[in-house]
Amino acid sequence: MKNVDLIINARWCLPMTAEQLVLENHSIVINEGNIVALLPQTQAEQLYQATQTQNMDEHCVMPGLINNHGHTAMTLFRGLADDLPLMTWLNNHIWPAEQQFVGDAFVEAGSALAIAEMLRGGTTCFSDMYFFPEATARVVDSSGIRASLGMVVIEFPTNWAKDVNEYLHKGQALHDKYRHHPRITTNYAPHAPYTVSDQTLQAIIINAEELDLPIQMHIHETAAEVNDSLAQHGKRPLARFKDLGLLSPRLIAVHMTQLTEEEMDWCAEAGVHIAHCPESNLKLASGFSPIAELIKRGVNVSIGTDGAASNNDLDMFAEMRQAAMLAKGVAGDPSVVPAYQALQMATINAAKSLGIDSVTGSLEIGKAADIIAIDLSDIETQPFYDLPSQLVYATGRDKVSDVWVAGKQLLKQRQLTTLNAQHVSAQAQQWATKIRSVS
């Protein structure tokens, strides 16, 4: 008998390693934060002795979800400015509010709120793009979640940095500080085509190559963005970035609602990844990303919530369902983006785009134990025929009962173990009182 830290016995297990593979009555054996075996429960009982055993008798156990694009601390602006198009929302509401309130304390409180919400919804990893990422990093570190934090660049002064040099310098400092952290990686996060110059993008491409990091950027979010670029540069943003050499497997293009056939071919040929944000695109009426067409061409598509000020939640179960449904509507074909593909987008595809698929994104021996358990015993999930279908089309985030990241339990029967939910809520309410009194 081998001694191990934890055994999770699962009624159903969806490892996300092979199309439609569903294991029944299997055990996930975990030691020092990693998965060391995945085998039938009867065999596990003979081979392993665990310090702790968790029986998930009515649950599906699967890899934690990866929210592949967001602005964590914007949870504190949830509901501040609704029902507006992107540029009105940014120029008249969000950027002024950020100028007034965003700082280290704001980002720490907003990140704690976001991470609490994400963990309770089965998200074990997120990719972020926001100011004061060192404050987010502290909460990632103490809460136990996994994250890829953006080294943001936006070419106007903000409370975080006065110019491009300072943005790049502060980003580099973040990268240096966390480069050996077991759960924190970094990515370059130039904001958008209309806020970052060619010269800055060239510097970012070189830096990203040197540090071997992904680059995430809002691209082709709206038709107005594309038209403005035509007026200013004589090119659509994607053509401009193709000429700059930005289209490569490093790039995670966020949104991508406006695409010609030729542009989709460029993305496929260059190995560009796409972070699809269906709810944000719907709420701001930004457009519809043709993800079925992109997937058909072999483009790696993942899912993000975007910030809570344009969504207005960080619910990856809702996002998976929207992604599947919207793709069918856009393609006029119900067979596109079936449930299993939506689950891939929310797990392994995101891990691949972030360059962390050797660590997370599926349940495999040698990977970190980033695991969620979903209770399928309730009335809303009866009867039961097909597991992926049940998870994407019938289940909600409230059915996530338990969450582990790197083998540490962060949600236990829906209770957060590392974050104080009352304190997190109280802080958010204090910020809202302050923001309300000024706005």
Specify binding-site residues for Zn(2+).
69, 71, 218, 306
Q: Considering the rule CB under 6 A, would residue 257 count as an interface residue with ligand LTUXU72L? A: no
| Nearest Cα to Cα of residue 68 among 400, 367, 397, 347 | 347
Q: In what order do the strands lie in the sheet with 146-153?
A: 65-70, 123-128, 146-153, 184-190, 215-219, 251-255, 273-276, 300-303
Q: Considering the rule CB under 5 A, would residue 279 count as an interface residue with Zn ion? A: no
Query: Which of 101, 106, 126, 131 contacts ligand LTUXU72L by CB under 6 A?
Result: 131
Query: Which of 48, 130, 178, 241 contacts ligand LTUXU72L by CB under 6 A?
Result: 130
Q: Which stretch binds Zn ion (CB under 5 A): 7-15, 52-60, 305-313, 405-413?
A: 305-313
Q: Return the DSSP state at 153.
A: E
Q: Which among Zn ion, ligand LTUXU72L, none contacts residue 229 (Cβ within 5 to 8 A by kind)?
A: none
Residue 236 Ramachandran class (φ > 0 left, ψ -120 to 50 alpha, else beta) = beta
Binding mask 86-125 for ligand LTUXU72L (x = CB under 6 A): x---x---x---x---------------------------
Query: Which of 98, 128, 306, 315 contacts Zn ion by CB under 5 A?
Result: 306
Which distant-in-sequence residues (6+ apart) come within 8 Å of 132 by Cβ? 73, 102, 103, 104, 106, 107, 108, 159, 160
Classify the C-alpha dihedral 264-268-272-275 as positive or negative.
positive
Q: Which among Zn ion, ligand LTUXU72L, none contacts residue 94 (Cβ within 5 to 8 A by kind)?
A: ligand LTUXU72L
Q: Considering the rule CB under 6 A, would residue 306 count as an interface residue with ligand LTUXU72L? A: yes
Q: Which among ligand LTUXU72L, Zn ion, none contacts residue 98 (Cβ within 5 to 8 A by kind)?
A: ligand LTUXU72L
Distances (CA, A) of 287 to 154, 220, 254, 269: 23, 9, 13, 24
**Binding annotation for substrate:** 98, 191, 221, 306
Distances (CA, A) of 259 to 68, 219, 418: 20, 10, 42
Query: Which of 119, 129, 324, 343 contacts ligand LTUXU72L by CB under 6 A?
Result: 129
Vertex 62: Cα angle to 325 and 389 (nearest 5): 30
164-178 and 133-143 are packed helices; what angle lies between their axes, rounded to 10 degrees? 20
The pair phi, psi for residue 40, each rounded to 5°, is -55, 145
Residue 312 vs 353, nearer CB to ligand LTUXU72L: 312
Q: How far is the CB of 88 from ligand LTUXU72L (least distance, A)?
A: 12
Q: For the chain, what is the total number of helices (H) and then of strands (E)?
A: 17, 16
Alpha carbon distance 249, 273 (integer Å): 7
Q: Considering the rule CB under 6 A, would residue 236 count as an interface residue with ligand LTUXU72L? A: no
Q: In what order do the strands lie in the sheet with 415-416?
A: 34-40, 23-31, 2-13, 48-63, 371-375, 400-405, 408-412, 415-416
Q: Which stretch binds ligand LTUXU72L (CB under 6 A): 9-17, 60-68, 128-136, 243-251?
A: 128-136
Alpha carbon distance 229, 252 (integer Å): 20
**Binding annotation:** 69, 71, 98, 191, 218, 221, 306
Q: Which stretch binds ligand LTUXU72L (CB under 6 A): 56-64, 105-113, 126-134, 420-428?
A: 126-134
Q: How far is the CB of 314 from ligand LTUXU72L (least distance, A)?
A: 13
Q: Considering the rule CB under 6 A, would residue 310 count as an interface residue with ligand LTUXU72L? A: yes
Largest CA distance in the chain: 70
Residue 151 vs 205, nearer CB to ligand LTUXU72L: 151
Residue 117 vs 306, nearer CB to Zn ion: 306
Binding site for ligand LTUXU72L (CB under 6 A): 71, 86, 90, 94, 98, 129-131, 152, 154, 191-192, 218, 221, 280, 306-307, 310
